[in-house]
Amino acid sequence: MMFVKEILNPVLNSIEQFADRNAFMIGESYYTYRDFGLCISKVRARIQESDFEGKNVGLMANDDLETYASIFAIWLEGLAYVPIHPSYPLDRGQGIIEEAEIGLFIDSSLDCHYQEVVIIKSKELSDCELNLVPVNTNEDSLAYILFTSGSTGKPKGVPITRANLVAFMSAFWQIGFQVDETDKCLQYFDLSFDISIQSYLVPLQKGACTYTVGHDKIKPTYTVELLEDHELTFGATPPSMIRFLRPYFEEIDLPHLKCNILCAEASALDLIKEWKDCIPNSNIYNLYGPTEATIYCTYSEFYQNKKNKHLNGMLSIGKPLNGVDILVVDEDNKEVLKGEKGELCVSGELVTKGYWKNELKNEEAFFIELYNGKEKRFYKTGDLCFIDSDSDIMLSGRLDYQVKVQGYRIELGEIEHLAREFSQGHNAVAVIFDNRLGHTEIALFIEGKIDVKELANYLKTKLPVYMCPTKLICDIEFPLNINGKVDRPQLRKLV
């Protein structure tokens, strides 16, 4: 029962040991660990009354105590949760419900739009006695399923088992993070995004307080106010949030932040150097990982007074977490030599057993390889990288950002790096598009206001003709998806 021992029991101990301490601050309201335990219990009681015989429970991913409590009520009952973001179109949410075989749906909203399943309205439940004793459940049973965008336009489900989550949390703590009941921890991410799980589990396991960022907030500005006004000490953030705040760095002073995890996208070294002045007492870590590897699978630390490895201005993603094996392979899944670029592949107990009901995708994304004398199953991340002589992993971008133009294979990350260099740090994103003749061209977007003619001339001095963008668009605010990443498909629509 490692899931109970390593995941649930630390949280249950916090509820008992720190009953009067704050567990959450949500929307400017505080909730104690006692409040949290009682809320878990009443949701659990309603699940039990429902006589639900399935395994996957739908969960409207709202930002409130009832939703967080529902996750643990579901886990205590030996079930798995499937979050659906409240902003999803109805058809998309309904498709996930059908695909994940959801028969029970928990929603704290006043009005639930999904009527084809049994609905538990978690805000309307009556209080009951504390009931936090977990049922016995197989470690191979699911903890959650996250649905991510698929290349076919249909979301693909990533099921994560209890054993996967145990392996991840064990590896995460072995990095050396120090958190206790006095800490104040940021929960920036939507519950439909995997990093949210680390963001609420870490504080709850240690009796700390979790400060959430709601859907209705302008996330970067609200987040920095949280960090400042409440003197937060620990948190994971995407670099895009920090980039948004860059014009205001001189006004930001966060001396209480002791640890900042950068995640969800590549981290620009020049941005981190400037951000460090805003968080002078914080250690900065760069953590990388696909949803298929639970949350993170590699890490590196930023050093203020030492050289930091980078490629095209992006910080190295470092070395594998404990229990993770890494391969870099060619198109035939054969390992390449150190220093040679290839696709990053990961193996370990934290890697999913495969996509939900999608054998065709599983055949494409997973393969068996002999590694250190043992057959191991690897997941192909789709990320292009190489391993240097010190065994550090240098991330070069997505394979689908490595494109062919006029028959030449190019990497869009190189163009973006030069544009950031020229514009003194403004964010830059390159995308490909087809012109009216169907030929592939490159468009380059710059978030700041610059002289596009000068940039074009600069790029011509650095790049071969076939790599120079044919369209330069500047002085726009980059669209972000619900996970806080730059929304490249939306940018492509602007070409």
Domain hosting 191: range is: 2-315
Asked if residue 289 belongs to a domain, the reply is yes
How far apart are the C-alpha atoms of 479 and 487, rounded to whole Å? 6
- pLDDT value at residue 430: 92
- pLDDT value at residue 87: 86
How far apart are the C-alpha atoms of 223 and 186, rounded to whole Å? 8
Q: Final residue of a domain: which of 292, 315, 338?
A: 315
Give how far the C-alpha of residue 245 lies from the chain's centroid of Cα atoms, to the nearest Å. Answer: 20
Asked if residue 358 belongs to a domain, the reply is no
Asked if residue 399 belongs to a domain, the reply is no
Asked if residue 323 belongs to a domain, the reply is no
Do 201 and 80 sit in the same domain of this protein? yes
Do 307 and 419 sit in the same domain of this protein? no
Asked if residue 371 belongs to a domain, the reply is no
Domain count for the chain:
2
DSSP class of residue 290? Answer: -
How far apart are the C-alpha atoms of 140 and 352, rounded to whole Å? 11
Q: Final residue of a domain: which of 285, 315, 345?
A: 315
How far apart are the C-alpha atoms of 301 and 234, rounded to whole Å? 15
CATH code, domain with 443: 3.30.300.30
CATH code, domain with 20: 3.40.50.12780
Low-confidence ranges of the chain (pLDDT < 50): 151, 153
Question: 167-170: long-range contacts at Cβ-Cβ below 8 A with a sequence spacing of 24 or more?
Answer: 167/294, 167/323, 167/348, 167/349, 167/350, 168/198, 168/293, 168/294, 168/295, 168/296, 168/350, 169/6, 169/7, 169/201, 169/205, 170/6, 170/322, 170/323
Asked if residue 328 belongs to a domain, the reply is no
Q: Exposure string (b/e) for 286-318, b if CB count within 10 Å is 16 or more?
A: bbbbbbbbbbbbbbbebeeeeebbbbbbbbbbb
Do 157 and 20 sit in the same domain of this protein? yes
- pLDDT value at residue 407: 64
- pLDDT value at residue 149: 66
DSSP string for 357-412: T-HHHHHHHEEEEEETTEEEEEEEEEEEEEE-TTS-EEEEEEGGGEEEETTEEEEH
- pLDDT value at residue 187: 98
How far apart are the C-alpha atoms of 342 and 326, rounded to whole Å? 12
Q: Final residue of a domain: which of 315, 343, 371?
A: 315
Q: What is the pTM of this model?
A: 0.87
Do 64 and 189 sit in the same domain of this protein? yes
Biggest CA-to-CA distance, the chain: 72
Do 309 and 414 sit in the same domain of this protein? no
